[in-house]
Structures are given as structure tokens and as C-alpha cells.
Structure 1
Amino acid sequence: MKPLPPVTPISLARHGIDRDHLTRGQDGDLAEVWEAGAHPVFEHRGALLVAAGGLFSPDRELVPTGQTEIYLGCDSDGDRYIGVSLDDAGRSELDSHLAASRARDATDLLTAPGGGLDSAEPTWLPLRQLAEALDDVEVSLACELVGLGNWHRAHQFSPRTGTPTRPILGGWVREDPDTGSQHFPRTDPAVIVVIVNTDDEGTERVLLGNNVAWESDRYSLLAGFVEPGETLEHAVTREVYEEAHLEVINPRYLGSQPWPFPCSLMLGFSAEAPSREFAADEDEIASLKWFTRDELNAAIENESVRAPGTVSIAGQLLANWLDNV
């Protein structure tokens, strides 16, 4: 196969924030960062508060008390940002404040911009919907905040003692107050693979799979989590064989993308398949298909196949192969 170029950082892989770890401090008190004029941004169960084309950042007075606050870092202008991961009560309080503000201001809904990210009024949208619309700084903040918010919600108790833990180090660590043990955010590495077969005439085909949980016309690349004690390359060959009973060779790293749903890092690879003989495992993969470039482009155009978009690294890797003529 013709070697694929590295994946260009787009969508969730873009970076525009200095995480400024020395400013996090040793405890969970961010008073000094707030006093320096930090901007709040909000997350609730993976959704972000947006308005007027970007993340909504009001005055600190609107930040509900008792929420998880995380120092996210600073941008190139030195502006600092604190992410606020809201629980249900915190979101309800914030929404009530915003509703009261709207009632006071009486914004003319006939002339205000429409909905979604460009709404004149703050609205909650999921990160996947915002991934390609936010700028580099805001997508960095959003990925940090959603990933850490997911982790805080899932790790409120010490795995050793069951004691409630508390945030320290600017929200980047949780500590057991009884034992002093510290617990750090987890990231689950997963590989995702462009599998290519080249026939005797030099024609390339890519293998795509339909997951058992998806609609029958939705296809994507094969992927799976890295298991303890194995290399990334071995994870590639193992996952492909488990899901497709297909042996692949020459796994080659092409790039990565954070996928905080809830805490993954997707590691993109290409691999060569000497044979096109496969058998879907039917536990995870319902069906598999080989496509030439012309066949896949035609199937996408006539809507017989739904391929991943470039919000995910799956779509980016597939686009790299389609363009690599």
C-alpha cells in the first residue's frame, strides 16, 4: 500500500492552551486564580454552555457554589480559565440565573441570531456537536473540562477506603482526606486502524465494519482498547483479528485524538492486509466490507453507506486514505 501521511491535528486534536501546571497550587482553592481575573466556562454531563459563537463565560458572580472547579490554563494572551463542572443542582441554579437575566433584558427574539452555537442566549450543546466549530483555544478548554468533569463524577470515593475524596491541585487530583492517598485522572488508550489490501493490479481497498449497535448502513474503521501488558502495535493486530479474523502486518502510527467520552485517547494506525478473507465476529461487528476508493465515494454519495465524519479521527484517517491517490 502507498504509505499514508500523518493525521493533521483538527477537530478535538487541536491545541491552544498552556495548561500552566505551576499555577494549579497544592489544594483545591482557586481563590488567587479567580482574583487574577480568570474566566469561567461551564460543563454539565458532557454538555457545554455556549453563546454568540463560543463558550459562554459570564462574571464570576454567576458561578454556583459547591461545584467542582478546575484550573484549565491560559491562552497566548495570558488570560486564565477555570472550568466549572456542574452537578444537577448547580446547572439548575445557573439556568435559573440566566433565565432571570433574559427576562430582565427582554432580548428581541425576532432580531437575535438563531439557535445552536450562534444563539444570542446561552444554550447547552454536546462537545461532539461543537468539535469543529470552536476555535483552537476553546476546543482545548472543552476537551479538558469534559474529560475531567467525567472523571470527577465517576471517582468521588477512594477505591481503597470508600471515603469521599476531595479535589486538590487545581482540580487535577482527588485526595482521600483520611489516608492522604492521591488519585489521578485516567486515560484509556484505544487503537483505530485503516486496514488496506492491495491486489496484484495495485488497486487498494479499505476494510470497514458495521457495529452490532449501529444502523445497518453505518460503517467505520475497526478499533479497540489497548490491554494491560501489550504494545500499541500488538493491540492493532489483536483487535483486527478478534473482530475480523484477519491478519494484518506493518502497523504504522499516524496520529492521535482525545476522545473524552468518557476518557479515551484514540491512537490512529494504518495496517496492511495480505488477504481479503475475513469473518466478522458477530459479537461486536455485524458485517464487514472491502471498498475501493471509487466504490466508497459512490456509496457515500448515494447514501447507501454512512461513513464517519472528520469530527473523529476515524473520519480523518479515512479521508487521508481516500485522498492518498
Structure 2
Amino acid sequence: MADAPSPFAFLDGALDRAEYLRSDAARLAALWPAARVLLLDGEGRALADAEGGPRLDAGADHADARDAAVLLGLDGEQAWFALPLAEAASPDLPRIDLRSAAASWPVREATAFAQARAVLHWRARHRYCGACGGALRFERAGWLGRCDGCGLEHYPRTDPAVIVAVSDGERLLLGRQANWPARRYSTLAGFVEPGETLEQTVAREVFEESAVRVRGCRYLASQPWPFPSSLMLGFYAEAEPDEPRANDEELEDARWFTRDEVGAALRGETRESGLLLSPRLSISRWLVECWYEAGGSAG
């Protein structure tokens, strides 16, 4: 029996990251001509075909670019790489952003796109050593930046963040940012700070953004979120029925929604609920669905 598809994007179809290959220059050179190559521009968009589908070139099409490519992993015996797009050579080629690709591409291509976007974003913004200012030289198939000046090694970073379905037992707490579409609300989220547990982050972020006090929480699931380089750690939290007060620096509004309002929004009945939820590609939407399906309680 086939595994059920994951409830949100960037999980299914992951490549074998083949860490052992990253230092094997001879093997990488042999794999390159037949490899699939995903090209991304400076804004993190991928080259697409005329219908918006995935365009994956062969390594042989970019014979002089192998040293600039990042190994994403293996699909069976075929290697996949990410390559920064030479803008001057291809100004008019069609592009697609990652959110759109997640909704329309096959899962393996969309998940590889997410991986490529995150690591190429790191490389583009970490070209120099933060300790001595020397230029970095990338090794291990693009996954290590080495400073020849001071010897410091630099690795891709991932920023952990919690995202939380907060309930008082009957209602769900959601917030909205000022630049979102009208009536769009989402679960609360925030980055983990140094020296802080995930549970402490949940309580702090919820209180900072809404003035609602968390009594306890539990972990549910995670999602890579390469916008640009986060890992979203999904939680359910039980909270006091405090009156929300949005932090103007974080949110435009925060409020409790009833189970009926959330159910109408999940069914697309936005006129009845006055509420728009995050798209299905996000763990935020899944957390809301879990809360609703559990009867508006423990998720």
C-alpha cells in the first residue's frame, strides 16, 4: 500500500542527499553529464517551461558550470544539482516562484526546488567570512564555505521557528499581518532565540504577539520553509481565554475564532465566516485542520 501524501509541501519525494558524494570529485564529474540541473535566478525563482512546469537541464548542457553547482542529491543513480542562473545570458526565459511551483509541480521537483532555493540563498549571502572578511571558497559540492584567510568553515544555516495552533478549549487564536490580503489570518509563529527551549519560545511568542498566556504545548510536526531559510516546528498550545491584544510591531490584529467560523473557512465559505486561511502548502493550514477535526480541542 502506498504511503499517504504529506499534508503540506516540501516533504514528499525528497532526494537521497548522498553526503558521502560531496567530497568525491571524480564521482561527481562522472555524474554531471547526465545529471538533472535546476536553475534559479537571483530572486529564488526557477526556470520553467512554457506551461510553467519544471525545466531541468542536463549537466551536459552546462559543461563549464559544474564547479558552481550545488549537489542536491540522488534519485536512484541520477544526480540532481542546483545552479545559479546567469542572468545576462537568459533575461527572457520563463520563471516560476516556489509557492506557485509547490501548487503545480510534481512533488519531487517541488521539494528539490525548496532545497535548492534555501542553499543558494545561503551561498549568495555568505560570500565573505564573518570573522575576518575574507572571501569564501566553496567546497564539498557547494555545502561548505571555507575562508582561506583564517581557516573558518561556514555551513548552510537553518533558522528554527515555532508555529502554533493556540486554543482556549473552544476557540482558535489567529493573527494577521498588515500586508496580508483582506481577512487573511494565520496561526502565530516566531523564531527561537538563543538559550531558549521550543516550549519557552511558544509561550513567549504567543504572549508577545497577542498577550494570551499559554498553559502548555506539545509538538506535532515540522516543515522546511525556505522563505528564505526556516524550519517551521508545529505545535498545539492550550491557553487561557485572555482577550487578545495585538502587538502593533508584529500583528495588525489577533482574535479568537469559533469552531463554526474556522469550519466555514476550511470549506471555502468565506462570506459566512469572514475568514481566509493560509494555503494548503503551509503547515499553518494543516495545524488549523488538525484543531478543527479534533473538535476544536487538543488537535
Band the TM-score falls in, shorter-chain normalisation = 0.7 to 0.9
Q: Relative to structure 2, which stretch is displaced further, 150-159 or 284-293?
A: 284-293
Conservation of the 8 A alpha-carbon contact between 2:53 and 2:105: yes
Higher relative contact order (CA 8 A, sep 6+): 1
Distance in 1 separating the partners of 2:24 and 2:157: 20
Q: Relative to structure 2, which stretch is displaced further, 15-24 or 173-182?
A: 173-182
Conservation of the 8 A alpha-carbon contact between 1:245 and 1:280: yes
**2:21 aligned with 1:13, yes or no?**
no
Matched with 2:142 is 171
Q: In structure 1, list runs of 5 or more residues that go unmatched.
A: 1-6, 97-121, 199-203
**2:299 aligned with 1:301, yes or no?**
no
Matched with 2:107 is 136
Q: Which secondary structure does the structure 1 equivalent of 2:292 belong to?
A: helix
Q: Which secondary structure does the structure 2 equivalent of 1:12 belong to?
A: coil
Q: Relative to structure 2, which stretch is displaced further, 283-292 or 236-245?
A: 283-292
Counterpart AA for 2:282: S
Conservation of the 8 A alpha-carbon contact between 1:207 and 1:288: yes
Q: Relative to structure 2, which stretch is displaced further, 166-175 or 46-55?
A: 46-55
Counterpart AA for 1:138: E
The 5-angstrom pairing of residues 97-112 of structure 1 reads none
Instruction: State the 1:136 CA deviation.
Output: 3.1
RMSD: 2.4
Deviations 1:205-259 (A, max 9, x none): 1011122333442211111000000000110000001111111122110101011
The 5-angstrom pairing of residues 1-325 of structure 1 reads 8-25=6-23, 30-35=28-33, 37-44=34-41, 45-51=43-49, 54-63=53-62, 65=64, 68-75=68-75, 77-86=76-85, 90-95=86-91, 123-198=94-169, 204-298=170-264, 301-303=269-271, 304-325=274-295
**Which structure 1 residue ranges, 4+ long, deviate > 6 Å from structure 2?**
26-29
Conservation of the 8 A alpha-carbon contact between 2:40 and 2:46: yes
Distance in 2 separating the partners of 1:130 and 1:289: 32
Structure 1 pair 193/24, CA: closer, same or farther in 2 (3 Å)?
same
Instruction: State the 1:26 CA deviation.
Output: 6.3
Instruction: State the 1:125 CA deviation.
Output: 0.3
State the TM-score, normalized to the length of structure 2: 0.87
Q: In structure 2, list runs of 5 or more residues that go unmatched.
A: none
Deviations 1:262-313 (A, max 9, x none): 1100110000113232221222112122111212333551343221111111
Conservation of the 8 A alpha-carbon contact between 1:219 and 1:307: yes
Counterpart AA for 2:249: D
State the TM-score, normalized to the length of structure 1: 0.80
Conservation of the 8 A alpha-carbon contact between 2:176 and 2:184: yes
Report sequence identity in percent: 35
Distance in 2 separating the partners of 1:210 and 1:185: 30
Counterpart AA for 1:301: E
Matched with 1:106 is none
Aligned positions, number: 284
Counterpart AA for 1:211: Q
